Amino acid sequence: DVGFQHYVEILTSDIFTQLLWQTGRWVVVGVAGKTLLGLLIAIHLKGDIKGRKFFRTAFLIPWGIPYAISAVVFRWIEHPQYGYLNAVLIELGIIDQGIGILGNPDIAWLGVIVADIWIGTPFMAIIFLAGLQSIPQGLYEAAAIDGAERWQQFRYITLPQLKSVILIATLLSTIWTFVSFDTIWTMTGGGPINTTSTLVIWIYQVGLENGNLGRGAAFSVIGFLFLLVFAVVYLRVYTRGGEEL
């Protein structure tokens, strides 16, 4: 069967192993970065700071800008000759000459993932901020009276109360990061030598650019199954403790 043969060829190919590793790295690092930064920003914005309303609105700007535009901006920031990042590093004496981040197979993925984290963090921050505001202030007041320090309040009050919010936010972020296309394609096109390609990028290249629709469709089905299995396992692990969404 021709269709079945596509799956056999894909699952036994070296490029599939490479894509699987790169997609997993892209998703894990990206979601972890967005989650941690989003939580830190949300905690900061919940506090009594000047211009809190302004900052809450400003933090949404990166998420509201089209991904392709943000990717172009970061591509220029990381440019080896004209980029602001290299200029700062040279000024600080960290490097002697500009580094072609997006042209280096070893670090290109880092240059792209930074842009993706920048784009996706505001969404996580707003979701976490909404969750933080729903936590009764009386819990913190009672804990403070009992002598609990801020870290203890965060560990025993904030995190447990945010568990459902964190679950939904990270699940959505995982799906969106997995299927992310614009950022990678605009910044590197999956290069250099496929080191920033993910399953989604490869599906586009194989199915549309190369015209191999059958193989591209097979890659799509495999990608969907990975997402489905992840979502089911993730939700079961969460609900095993008897909690509900």
In a domain, 243, yes or no: no
Domain count, the chain: 1
Q: What is the CATH number of the domain that holds 67?
A: 1.10.3720.10
Instruction: Quote the DSSP letter at residue 207.
Output: I
Instruction: Quote the DSSP letter at residue 55.
Output: H
Determine phi and psi for 50, rounding to 5 degrees. -70, 140
Q: Which of 227, 187, 191, 194 is nearest to 67 (CA)?
A: 187
Long-range contacts of 232-237 (CB under 8 A, 24+ apart): 234/167, 234/171, 234/174, 235/167, 235/171
In a domain, 244, yes or no: no
In a domain, 187, yes or no: yes
In a domain, 202, yes or no: yes
In a domain, 94, yes or no: yes
Domain holding 223, by residue range, is 2-238
- Supply angle C-alpha 156, 162, 163, rounded to 5: 90
Tens-level pLDDT at each residue, the chain (245 residues): 566 787 888 888 888 999 999 999 999 999 999 999 999 999 988 877 777 777 777 777 887 888 889 999 999 999 988 889 989 988 898 888 888 999 999 999 999 999 999 999 999 999 999 999 999 989 988 998 888 888 899 999 999 999 989 988 999 999 999 999 999 999 999 999 999 999 999 999 988 888 888 888 888 999 999 989 988 888 887 776 555 55
In a domain, 133, yes or no: yes
pLDDT value for 56: 73
Q: Where are the beta strands (DSSP E) in the chain?
A: none
In a domain, 72, yes or no: yes
Residues in the chain: 245
Sequence-ordered list of residues with C-beta below 8 angstroms from that of 37, at least 6 positions apart, any chain = 117, 121, 124, 125
- Give the predicted TM-score (pTM) of the model: 0.88
In a domain, 90, yes or no: yes
